[in-house]
Amino acid sequence: MGYCTWAGMNEANRIYHDTEWGIPVHDDRHMFEHLTLECLQCGLSWDLMLKKREIFRQCFDNFDYDKIASYGDDDVERILNTEGMIRSPRKVQAVINNAKCYQKVREEYGSFCDYIWAYSGGKTILYQGHDVGTIPVSNGLSDRISKDLKKRGFKYVGAVTIYSHLQACGIINDHDKDCPCCRQINETNPTVRKRRDHEVRRKC
């Protein structure tokens, strides 16, 4: 039975792959958690994000963006002084900023999920060739969403970060074609097949 190669690197990756990655998310809090993890990862490894995830949940009220949006200087200091937390004032401030921007999107669209899923027509996208390993680091869709989020004031939302987010929250299904998760997602969610979209490849 096939399996996404990266999922076998360690137990944390396996659990994340089997229970979360690529499964469509339609809950705003869960969506904000995924987006925040991707933003915090910038310049760091995904393994580190998974290892520190419970610390992040502790620091950011389980990713309750309404609570986070009201954070002040004392909260920033509390978070930075939390044992095991990433010592980056800019990233902590970005999470707070993004929570405020997230609220504004919710006010405009009813929910952030409605906003971001509208880019795919509410369906999980299956890009040509992705299921056999030709996966980019960003594409036209992630670039368009990135630009719009930046206009809305979001931080740490470049096209590469957003592509990873779209994979994580199930808007793009990039599981290997022989991975059981690929089939399960496709069988239980509406999907749409599309041609490659201005893809950017990782440089060797």
Domain residue ranges in the chain:
5-194
Out of 3, 6, 46, 119, the active site residue is 46
Out of 16, 65, 102, 127, the active site residue is 16
Neighbouring C-beta atoms of residue 73, cutoff 10 Å: 7
Tell me what pLDDT residue 1 has: 39
Residue 109 contacts residue 115 (beta carbons within 8 Å)? yes
Total count of residues recorded for the chain: 204
Out of 21, 33, 38, 115, the active site residue is 38
Q: Exposed (0-12), middle (13-18) or buried (19+): which is 81, by Cβ within 10 Å?
A: exposed
What would the CATH number be for the domain defined by 5-194? 1.10.340.30
Tell me what pLDDT residue 9 has: 84
Instruction: Write out pLDDT tens, residues 153-204.
Output: 999 999 999 999 999 999 999 999 999 999 999 999 999 999 999 999 864 3
The fraction of the chain above a pLDDT of 90, given in percent, is 91
Residue 64 contacts residue 29 (beta carbons within 8 Å)? yes
Q: Is 38 a catalytic residue?
A: yes
Q: Is the pLDDT of residue 133 over 80?
A: no
pTM of the model: 0.95
Q: Which residue has the tokens 């899923």?
A: 117
Three-state SS for 140?
helix
Q: Is the pLDDT of residue 2 over 60?
A: no
Please give the Cα distance from 173 to 128 (Å, whole number).
Answer: 11
Instruction: Write out pLDDT tens, residues 70-107.
Output: 999 999 999 999 999 999 999 999 999 999 999 999 99
